[in-house]
Each structure stands twice: as C-alpha cells, then as structure tokens.
Amino acid sequence: MIGTIVNTGTIIAGTIIGTLLHRGIKDKYKEVLYTGLGLASLAIGLNATISNFPKSEYPVLFIVSLAIGGLIGTRLDIDGRFKRLVNKRSNSASPNKLADGLATAILLYCIGPLSMLGPVISALKGDHTFLFTNATLDLVSSIVFASTYGFGMVLAAPVLFCWQGMFWLVARISASAVSDALMAELLVVGGLMITGSGLGLLGLKDCKTLNLLPALLVPVLWFLILSLF
C-alpha cells in the first residue's frame, strides 16, 4: 500500500500548495485555469477511451453500461446530492464551481491506467513504479485544481485512497479477479466520463457526470456473471 499512501499524500500536499496560491490569483486567471482543466480533461478522457476501445471484447458493453448506470445514477440523484453536500459545507463564493471541480478531480485521479493498474501491480509484484509516476502527475494536477477551486479539493484524497485500496485488496485476494479485459472496459467507460467532465468545465454541456458513476459497476457485474458459466 506504500504506493497508494504516497499518491494520496501528494494530492494533500499539492492541495495545500495550490490553496496558498489560490488567494493571489485574479478571477480572469482562474477562468483561464478552468478552460485549461477542461481541455486537459477532454484530452485525457478521449485518449483513455480511444486507446482502450480496440482492446474491448464487448464493443457495445460501454453503451449498455452508460445507459444502465446513468438511469441508476439519475434515480439516486448522485450529482445533485453531491453538489448540495458541497454547497452546504463550502464557504466558497462559488460552491457549484467547487463541486464541479471536485467531481472532475476525483475522476481524473481515479480513472486512469496508472491509478487502476498501479495498485494491482503493487499488490502482485511489489512494484510501485506506476503509482509513484501517478503521484507525480497528481501532485501537479492537485496544485492547479486547488489554485482554482480552493482547499475543498483535498476531499479527493480519501476517495483516491479508497479507490486504489480496493484494487490493491482485490488483487491481493485474487490475482485473476482484475483481468486486462475488465480493465479495458472500465477505462473505456471511465474515459467517456472524464470527457463529460471536460465539457462541463468548458461550459459546453453539463453532463452530470457523477450520475454516470454506477456505469463502472456494470462491466464488473458482467465479467462476474461470465465467470459463473
């Protein structure tokens, strides 16, 4: 778990640094950062989806996942509940911005090859290279996020720890549970979710990305069902 602990620590450290910078940044520069983060999200999300789509063994599974996950998430109103929670606890003048930024940061930190494969390799081989590399990237990202949205971005750290910890634990229990095929499906769906967050940051379309989170469970359930037959 040392790799995940380091990764979590870099997000906390980056958030602290970014928060100190946040106070001295004018609104026009913050707007530029919003745009930059939006474009970066589009690039990262599309890259994850396009690069992993050829590896998919079930090309329509991501459509089914987004459809089912979106319906469940909308019924549970995950996006709305999350934003109301942030609004209630935030002292920021723009709590909705914080909610959108936090949602995007969580997706960027968690849905990526390094963040998902890293804990698995760490658990099976004791190699933390992927996680240390991811920690370096997240340090820079967290500074930018916090300089734009403030200290509330630190809430992404425990989410990352639980996410990577889940992959690490599953891999330790069963090496075959997290297959390359399942990872590819998760990255296709997750990449599209990051792309949706990018559209929201750019003000082009509010995709209510958090309502799509249950979509990540559909490939897991699909592969679990297949393993029973």
**DSSP calls for 127-156:** --HHHHHHHHHHHHHHHHHHHHH-GGGGGH
Does position 75 have pLDDT exceeding 90, yes or no?
A: yes
Six-digit token string for 42: 């589009």
Does position 2 have pLDDT exceeding 70, yes or no?
A: yes
Six-digit token string for 9: 């620590």
**Which has the minimum average pLDDT: 14-28, 93-107, 109-123?**
93-107
Q: How far apart are the first and last CA of the chain?
A: 33
CB 195 within 8 A of CB 42: yes
Six-digit token string for 66: 């987004």
Q: What is the pLDDT of residue 64?
A: 95
Band of the pLDDT at 148, cuts 50, 70, 90?
Answer: confident
Percent above pLDDT 90 for the chain: 19
In whole angstroms, give the CA distance from residue 218 to residue 53: 16
24: DSSP letter: T
In whole angstroms, give the CA distance from residue 12 to residue 105: 13
In whole angstroms, give the CA distance from residue 219 to residue 229: 16
CB 38 within 8 A of CB 199: yes
Does position 93 have pLDDT exceeding 50, yes or no?
A: no
Q: What is the pLDDT of residue 76?
A: 92
Band of the pLDDT at 94, cuts 50, 70, 90?
Answer: low
Answering whether pTM is above 0.85, one says: no
Q: What is the pLDDT of residue 70?
A: 93
**Nearest alpha-carbon partner for 100 in 199, 214, 216, 215:** 199
The whole-number average pLDDT for the span 221-229 is: 86
**DSSP calls for 74-95:** HHHTHHHHHHHHHHHH--SS-H
Band of the pLDDT at 184, cuts 50, 70, 90?
Answer: confident
In whole angstroms, give the CA distance from residue 15 to residue 13: 5
**Which has the minimum average pLDDT: 154-163, 172-181, 216-225?**
172-181
CB 48 within 8 A of CB 113: yes
In whole angstroms, give the CA distance from residue 5 to residue 157: 10
Q: What is the pLDDT of residue 96?
A: 60
The whole-number average pLDDT for the span 21-36 is: 74
